[in-house]
Amino acid sequence: MKTLGKKIRLLRHQKGWSQEDVAKRLDISIPAFSKIETGITDVNLSRLEQIATLFEMTVVQLLTFNDADPDQKVVNELEAIHKKLMDRETEVIDLQKKVIELFEELRHSRVTA
């Protein structure tokens, strides 16, 4: 599990905000916010609620943000890609069958004509 500070830093980067931007929004000094991100300072519940609100999340969402195992994410993505690939392969096989059927119809019509 990632530390809370790393989660907050990731969210801040996703928003394109600097430490100064977030510190101003939280009404704290830049060094105080930096200590939150680096894990030097423990965050109390009211500050946690303030940070969650800033990032438009609940406290639970903030605490569990990005907790999924990165390896599992890769596995899930690969499984989804594999399924799409298998679906496309089935489509190609069906289209090949149709082409063969049409070719046979065309050949048969030329023989009878």
Angle subtended at Cα 89 by Cα 83 and Cα 93, rounded to the nearest 5 degrees: 145
What digits encode the pLDDT tens for the residues 37-77?
A: 999 999 999 999 999 999 999 999 898 887 665 666 777 78
**Integer Cα distance of 6 and 15 in angstroms:** 14
Question: What does pTM read for this prediction?
Answer: 0.57
Q: Are 37 and 9 in contact (CB under 8 A)?
A: yes
What digits encode the pLDDT tens for the residues 18-41?
A: 999 999 999 999 999 999 999 999
- What's the N-to-C CA distance of the chain in angstroms? 74
Angle subtended at Cα 43 by Cα 40 and Cα 46, rounded to the nearest 5 degrees: 160
What digits encode the pLDDT tens for the residues 72-113?
A: 677 778 888 999 999 999 999 999 999 999 999 999 888 886
Hey, what are 44's tokens? 């109390």
